[in-house]
Amino acid sequence: MLKEKIVFSKIGENKKRKERELYSAAYELFTTKGANNTAIDEIVKKAGVAKGTFYLYFKDKYDIIDKLVLLKSRQVIEEAVAETRKLGLENFEDKTIFFINYVINYFKENKLMLKLINKDFSCGLFKRARLNPDENKEIDEVVRFFIEGLIERGMEELEAELTLFMIFELVGNVCYSSIILKQPVEIDIIKPVLFNKILAMIN
């Protein structure tokens, strides 16, 4: 019985390792070559696994892009949440602005990640967090925190959810345009205006 448990444990670890290697290889290729210019053959070669192994984890290239965007989006959000909690801010507006500022600064330092996430930052994160709370408990907590803060300010739940979605959508689009394309201006110039608009949306 113990032997069987050890075998199953090793199989599980091996599967997780291969999945991590596929994610790592795909991320490097997508951010250097672009997702459209990357083939599955290149991903499996870089990951050092057989092509059939890829299809044990992903339906196709678009599936791994989708999951990778969610994975990287969660990484940004979880870091931003951890740093916001460290400050122990009481005011909802202060927490919101600090959180968003952290996300913006993260993307400034991680342009390749921003290129991959692009405009999927809100959809890829918000929708899944609401639809699959058991799989995304950490992210669902963040979503609930913001929604509850908006409800306390007099919004109905649906309006709060839609407002949060629009905030994430706005932040993602402004970051991509200003940091990657430098349009219409650089991010540090547009940031105060962005903060004012977000404060207007939550009050």
pLDDT above 90 (res 141): no
Rounded CA-CA distance 191/203 in Å is: 18
Return the CATH number of 1-58, one of 1.20.120.420, 1.10.10.60, 3.40.50.300, 3.40.50.20: 1.10.10.60
CB 62 within 8 A of CB 26: no
Please state which of the four CATH numbers 1.10.10, 1.20.120, 3.30.70, 1.10.357 is assigned to the domain occupying 69-202: 1.10.357
Answer whether residue 89 shows pLDDT above 90: no
Chain segment 22-47, per-residue pLDDT in tens: 999 999 999 888 888 999 999 999 99
Residue of 124, 151, 149 whose CA lies nearest to 139? 124
Looking at residue 7, what is its pLDDT?
A: 44
The pTM assigned to this predicted structure is 0.81
Q: Pick the more confident residue, 4 or 149.
A: 149
Mean pLDDT of the chain: 85
**pLDDT for 68:** 87
Mean pLDDT of 1-10: 50
Whether cis (ω within 30° of 0) applies to the bond prior to 133 is no
The residues, any chain, with a CB within 8 Å of residue 190's CB and separated by 6 or more, are: 174, 178, 184
Packed helices 92-109 and 137-152: angle between N→C axes, nearest 10 degrees: 140
In this predicted structure, the answer to whether residue 52 has a pLDDT above a threshold of 60 is yes
What are the extents of the domains in the chain?
1-58, 69-202
pLDDT at 112: 86
Q: How far apart are CA 165 and CA 162, in angstroms?
A: 5
Output 185 or 124, whichever has higher pLDDT. 185
Q: Is the Cβ–Cβ distance between 68 and 27 less than 8 Å? A: yes
Mean pLDDT of the 6-17 span: 63
